[in-house]
């Protein structure tokens, strides 16, 4: 079982060599030790930045950033992060590229590999990111797809570690839609040996194959993963409670249906009373106050959503530094 206290993480050259030049499409491709290393690196880089130390470790490197979906946190954190590391971020709207006019991903991947040192892509379909990685000789980083959001999960774990210390053995409750954010969060938490309870309405459950994988990972690291349709059961004695919007980008036509299906899954004062007194609340943002979470919770003393958003910068700097 991996040592979860990050001060004990082996930061030797072997892990650095393992990560160099790798893609980050999903945390399923990373071992517990590699994820712990990235989190350890993020903590060090955050402390250095707060002390005014930002060595340009990626001078002359260029990161291409392709967006098929709108973005606030992903775009800004990657742009700022790459700049702070001494490199150059290049924003590319997918509609403005030839890929938006039908150029094959095969051609696009090979061409971008001639110009860039890495690509971060925020795509509608996970298959697009997989295909781009297949036909590129440079690292491809998943900035969000319909199936995974690995960089968000790293920031989530970093925040929990900062607030709770070692997260091994802690209970994380995810309440809401079994979506891309949930998939990456649970896989990441399973690698850290956490006990994860996922509560979703009937018909909106976690992907079955990914759920089985997460259970296997958690067991190997001394943790556990369970699923329920009862939010109270999930939140009982939780150290951390996490939710996301009920209607994500591209699901707008389902909004009315989802509002009805999720109405008992709101994070509010009554529900969090079942958690530990010092529970922490997390949300990947953007948030809809009085929908998936009440203002009393997201703006309350147990909320760490802005620290969590800020940690996107530091987690992604660790990824960029390690892969590029």
CATH code of the domain containing 79: 3.40.50.1370
Torsion of CA 207, 208, 214, 219, to 10 degrees: 160
Note whether 116 and 215 are same-domain residues: no
Note whether 163 and 198 are same-domain residues: yes
* Number of other CB atoms surrounding residue 90 within 10 Å: 15
The tens digit of pLDDT for each residue in 102-155 reads 889 999 999 999 999 999 999 999 999 999 999 999 999 999 999 999 999 999
Give exposure, 185-219, as e/b (b: 16+ Cβ within 10 Å).
bbbbbbbbbbbbbbbbbeebbbbeebbebbbebbe
CA-to-CA distance for 130 and 110, rounded, in angstroms? 14
Residue 314 has pLDDT above 90, yes or no: yes
Note whether 137 and 192 are same-domain residues: no
Note whether 305 and 316 are same-domain residues: no
Mean pLDDT of 220-231: 98
Is 125 a known ligand-binding residue? no
Residue 4 has pLDDT above 50, yes or no: no
C-alpha distances in angstroms, 289 versus 170, 245, 246? 27, 10, 11
The tens digit of pLDDT for each residue in 48-75 reads 999 999 899 999 999 999 999 989 999 9
Is 312 a known ligand-binding residue? yes
Note whether 38 and 87 are same-domain residues: yes
Print the SS3 string covering 186-244: HHHHHHCCCEEEEECCCCCCCCHHHHHHHHHHHHHCCCEEEEECCHHHHHCCCCEEEEC
Note whether 170 and 210 are same-domain residues: yes
Note whether 31 and 136 are same-domain residues: yes
| Full domain range(s) for residue 252 | 153-309
The whole-number pLDDT of residue 100 equals 63
* Rounded CA Rg of the chain: 19
Note whether 191 and 296 are same-domain residues: yes
When divided into structural domains, the chain yields a total of: 2
Is 71 a known ligand-binding residue? yes
CB contact set of 65 (below 8 Å; sequence gap of 6+) = 75, 78, 79, 89, 90, 91, 92, 119, 120, 121, 122, 143
Is 1 a known ligand-binding residue? no
The verdict on pTM exceeding 0.85 is yes
> Are the beta carbons of 39 and 157 closer than 8 angstroms?
yes
Residue 99 has pLDDT above 80, yes or no: no
Note whether 141 and 220 are same-domain residues: no
Mean pLDDT of 157-180: 97
Is 274 a known ligand-binding residue? no
What's the whole-number average pLDDT of the chain?
94
CA-to-CA distance for 180 and 31, rounded, in angstroms? 20
The whole-number pLDDT of residue 174 equals 98
Mean pLDDT of 205-216: 97
CA-to-CA distance for 226 and 189, rounded, in angstroms? 12
CA-to-CA distance for 201 and 230, rounded, in angstroms? 8
- Chain centroid to Cα 86, Å, comes to 24
The tens digit of pLDDT for each residue in 240-279 reads 999 999 987 666 778 889 999 999 999 999 999 999 999 9
Catalytic residue IDs: 122, 149, 152, 244, 284, 312
Note whether 179 and 95 are same-domain residues: no
- CA atoms within a 13 Å half-sphere pointing along the CA-CB vector of 155: 28
Residue 5 has pLDDT above 50, yes or no: no
Is 160 a known ligand-binding residue? no
Note whether 243 and 171 are same-domain residues: yes
Note whether 187 and 104 are same-domain residues: no
DSSP letter at 117 equals S
DSSP letter at 277 equals T
Tell me how far apart the 2 most distant CA atoms of the chain are, in Å: 56
CA-to-CA distance for 127 and 266, rounded, in angstroms? 32
* Number of other CB atoms surrounding residue 153 within 10 Å: 26
Residue 2 has pLDDT above 70, yes or no: no
The whole-number pLDDT of residue 102 equals 80
């Amino acid at each position: 079982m991996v040592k979860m206290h990050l001060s004990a993480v082996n930061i030797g050259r072997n892990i650095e060599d393992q990560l160099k030049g790798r893609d980050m499409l999903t945390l399923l491709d990373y071992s517990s030790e590699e994820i712990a290393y990235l989190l350890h690196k993020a903590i060090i880089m955050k402390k250095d930045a707060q002390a005014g130390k930002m060595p340009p470790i990626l001078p002359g490197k260029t990161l291409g950033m392709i967006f098929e979906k709108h973005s606030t946190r992903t775009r800004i954190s990657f742009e700022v992060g790459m700049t702070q590391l001494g490199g150059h971020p290049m924003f590319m709207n997918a509609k403005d590229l030839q890929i938006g006019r039908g150029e094959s991903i095969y051609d696009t991947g090979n061409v971008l590999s001639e110009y860039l040192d890495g690509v971060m892509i925020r795509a509608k379909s996970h298959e697009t990111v997989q295909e781009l990685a297949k036909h590129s000789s440079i690292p491809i980083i998943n900035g969000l797809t319909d199936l995974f959001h690995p960089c968000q999960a790293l920031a989530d774990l970093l925040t929990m570690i900062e607030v709770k210390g070692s997260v091994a053995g802690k209970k994380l409750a995810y309440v809401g839609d079994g979506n891309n954010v949930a998939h990456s969060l649970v896989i990441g938490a399973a690698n850290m040996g956490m006990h994860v309870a996922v509560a979703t309405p009937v018909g909106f459950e976690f992907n079955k194959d990914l759920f089985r994988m997460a259970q296997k990972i958690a067991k190997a690291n001394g943790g556990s993963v369970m699923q329920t349709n009862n939010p109270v059961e999930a939140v009982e004695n939780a150290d951390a409670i996490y939710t996301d919007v009920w209607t994500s980008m591209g699901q707008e036509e389902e909004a009315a249906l989802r509002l009805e299906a999720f109405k008992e899954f709101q994070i509010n004062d009554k529900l969090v009373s079942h958690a530990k007194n010092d529970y922490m609340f997390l949300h990947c943002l953007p948030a809809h106050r009085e929908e998936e979470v009440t203002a009393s919770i997201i703006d309350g003393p147990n909320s760490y959503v802005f620290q969590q958003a800020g940690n996107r910068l530091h987690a992604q700097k660790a990824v960029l530094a390690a892969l590029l």
